[in-house]
Chain A
């Protein structure tokens, strides 16, 4: 049947090149495994924002280590950035593992994910010591006020008067991890809400640019155990009580600064990597470089039943823990033998002295 014309090869569909970031990676390169958390869980939204932030900042995923403790939140590092080494440690003790890992390789970027039970209840001991050391890492508390994996008991961040599904009312005061962190020496402290994409993304990008401990307490409602009427960590409660102390803007170091700002209302913070964080004050007299004022603002908000969000405190001058240790530039873990084992003469001298 030679009469039939040979069908021509189908035309290549014109492919639009996949969108990439400044180091040529796609957002796909920052994705992780499929989440096993409940549909609607605030933690999933936070994982999405982490992916966006690291993608947009163009951080090489192989240069990041993810660390977590135990709990729903601590599972989430499996759901983003699979190309980063990850360490899911033991309950409440991730801070020490993170500290050790950074001492072993201080050239890495460390991102820690914990929960309110993992940090404020079982882990408060290690939490406070991490904060006072200003270990250079991002520490996210995915805060829902309850234990998810053990089915809905209160954690230590539950507010007075908050009600469980079973009707149990919490009558003990909450631990405010942000206030603690500011008081103890963390150098970048803020709170956000898993439902506030814009604020959370800007804060995460600024966190990546910071050198020192970043503590982000992110209210992240538990749709299964703590999203009902009477809960102070529900989506509805947050929508009604979220009070931003400042509007967080961020200009990364690799972008030209083209937005003007009013120095009367906006504080411009030059970050460690050359990026700029712009904090437009929404509360009069608020100064995010003043620890005392910042802690006072928290206490006032508690008294007024407001959930304060935004960047509360920033200090870009304080040296980080690894800087204070004055380490060599290369990672300690992979220094060659001759840099970590003193020579023969040293041992001989020691032996002479002991004779």
Chain B
């Protein structure tokens, strides 16, 4: 990927789509705890620690904050942007306008400053002389190299330490609480006291330089609040890994793919820490597979043998898993697949966000196949739905897909602390040797309970009648090979019944409604954050009250049908080109309700922002 392409990805959208924000034109007034900071760097330059310290310092000041890493599919040398949003109102979606730029990448710095709205602020390397491009932006040139050299005698460390200078400059300009900054920094470096001291010296150097040289000429300030007390910061992949550990997952087979790899890597760390006995023996097996086909093959094999098994992947991996997914559906094998979605089709933009796998996952594989999808809308749900997924996989005896995405999986989010699971693991309908003696045998695919779910036995069950023959070919109730039309239809109809059972077992939607509005909004996953903010914009700016339903799973529960039926127009908000969720709804709804659906889509690879929804909805409503 050429540098230009990547640069365009970030700045083009801003310059084309954003309108100058009028409130910036009066720098005398102050804007407190409600703005965004963008740090433009080069990937591989080690800016991550500095960005994290900045984010966590704001968090420690009690101000709601979120951070997003916009990075290229590359190891070193290409432009990267990190965006921090402080929001006193608790909005955590991407904010389209950048208020404060920290321009550390000479390759993109001109474009970066040109993309700022009027009244923004820019901190940059003195020699770049960015002031020549904008006289309507508050400019703060900093001699980064000189300041770094003064605090860091060791030349090879300077590249890393340099980033901490901007933390200090920003802290001074925004009037941050330096105790919070130091605490965040020391936590970041944990036991590495020497590194912490060196970096703290750099922060102070930046702070002192700004204090001595700048006259504040922008409205942005951070003031302590009390809105983050007791909260945690975690990314969705780490949260899902944690959920998988507490779900008792024992077998993991995976193939690395962005943006899902850190989910398994987190699981490996946790498993090594908490799932090895005093004798050094492990209650887990983690295997890096040769490809995604092998990964899901092993997951289903392990599920068949009775283990709680999972893999994590993204779109291209999902495509490769198609054949096995059909086997899992038809032979009724439990397994959990985390799909941390990225921008497709094909290789697409591997480090950009999208909710683009819904249709392909819902019907993954040939023939009449359909799958259960859980759709987390927060890091807490990544944790909780990981546990739900393992329970449902064994309850429903089928693969369960957890549809996360890059924005949720790889970015840091604030959350209430996670709760310890109160219910025991639900291992589903499994017959023991004693059961078999009592029953005098069993038929694997017989619908004994009327819910479409049969009883299974596990390999190793010590009973002569325990074994059955698992196959992806036509089978009857007794798991025997068949090509008889009635056997086939009977079995397929039972599978349909099982899918109907799933409607009431999967996580139910979250509904926010006054009961008075004729307009409904439907969103899911990471479209939720921007949708919530957009609802407030619609109410405040257009006096438009909207009801809201957040889908949390497929197949759809009755409540979703009812919500749509009770509104005149329902906007389905999603991050893909083809209105995939709306398409799934269409297939499920009565004809009279389909006409109520409208679509709001965003699919440029950047996380969805509230203004995009508001503008689109207002235009469709003709307001």
Which of A125, A346, A351 has the most C-beta atoms of chain B within 10 angstroms of its own C-beta? A351
Q: Is the CB of B469 within 8 A of A101?
A: no
A170–B297 Cα gap in the complex (Å)? 32
**Centre residue among A62, A97, A105, A331 by max chain B CB count within 10 A:** A97
Q: Is A325 touching B285 in the complex (CB atoms < 8 A)?
A: yes
Nearest CB of A to B548, in Å = 29
A332 touches B284 (CB 8 A): yes
> Would you call B408 an interface residue if the criterion is a C-beta within 8 Å of the partner chain's C-beta atoms?
no
Residues on the A chain within 8 Å of B470, using CB: 85-88
Whether, in the assembled complex, A9 has its beta carbon less than 8 Å from a beta carbon of chain B, the answer is no
Partner of A108 from B294, B424, B459 at Cβ < 8 Å: B459
User: Cβ of A87: which chain B residues have Cβ within 8 Å of it?
Assistant: 301, 304, 470-471
Contact bitstring B285-317, A, C-beta under 8 A = 1, else 0? 101011101111111111111111100000000
Q: Which residues of chain B from 467 to 496 have any CB-CB distance to chain A below 8 Å in the complex?
A: 467-473, 481
Known: A90-B327, A100-B253. A340 touches B306 (CB 8 A): no
Q: In this assembly, does A317 line the interface, its C-beta being within 8 Å of a C-beta of chain B?
A: no
A105/B467 contact (C-beta < 8 A), A90-B324, A332-B283, A344-B420 known: no
Which positions 194-230 of chain B face chain A at CB distance < 8 Å? 230
State the interface size on chain A (CB cutoff 8 A). Answer: 58
**B301 near A332 (CB under 8 angstroms)?**
no
Residues of B with C-beta under 8 A to A84 = 467
| Given A96-B298, A337-B424, A354-B232, A104 and B303 contact (CB-CB distance below 8 Å) | yes
Most chain A CB within a 10 A radius of its CB, from B295, B296, B305, B309 = B305
Surface stretch bound by A, among B71-79, B94-102, B240-248: B240-248
Chain A contacts for B462, CB-based, 8 A:
62
Evaluate contact between B302 and A101: CB separation under 8 angstroms: yes
Please, how many angstroms separate the alpha-carbon atoms of A103 and B298 in the complex? 8
Asked whether B298 lies within 8 Å of A332 as measured between CB atoms, the reply is no
Residues of chain B within 8 A of A85, CB atoms compared: 457-460, 466-468, 470
Interface of A is mostly: helix
A104's partner among B231, B307, B461, B481 (CB-CB below 8 A) is: B307
Chain A residues in 8 Å Cβ range of B82: none
- A160 to B327 Cα, complex, angstroms: 36
Task: Output the residue of A96, A129, A331 with the most chain B CB within 10 A.
Answer: A96
A104→B251 contact, CB < 8 A: yes
**Residues 323-364 of B at the A interface (beta carbon under 8 Å):** 323-324, 327
Report B467 CB to chain A, min CB distance, Å: 5
Secondary structure at the B interface, as helix, strand, loop or mixed, is: loop
A333-B283 in contact (CB<8A) = no
Interface residues of B in 445-471 (CB under 8 A from A): 457-464, 466-471
Instruction: Give the one of B289, B302, B417, B418 with max A CB within 10 A.
Output: B302
Is B301 in contact with A99, judged by CB distance below 8 angstroms? yes
Are A100 and B302 in touch, CB under 8 angstroms? yes
B250 within 8 A of A: yes
Q: A93-B297, A104-B305 are in contact. Are A328 and B280 (CB under 8 A)?
A: no
Q: A90-B327, A93-B293 provided; 6 other pairs, C-beta below 8 A?
A: A65-B305, A67-B301, A83-B467, A101-B302, A101-B459, A103-B309
B interface residue numbers (CB < 8 A to A): 230-234, 242, 245-251, 253, 274-275, 277, 280-285, 287, 289-291, 293-309, 323-324, 327, 417-418, 420-421, 424-425, 457-464, 466-473, 481
Can you report 15 residue pairs joining A to B where beta carbons are below 8 Å apart? Answer: A90-B323, A90-B324, A96-B295, A99-B297, A100-B309, A104-B304, A105-B305, A108-B305, A328-B282, A331-B306, A332-B251, A337-B248, A340-B308, A342-B245, A347-B242
The chain A residues found within 8 Å of chain B, CB to CB, are: 29, 61-63, 65, 67, 77-78, 82-90, 93, 95-105, 107-108, 125-126, 129, 322, 325-329, 331-335, 337, 339-342, 344, 346-348, 350-351, 354-355
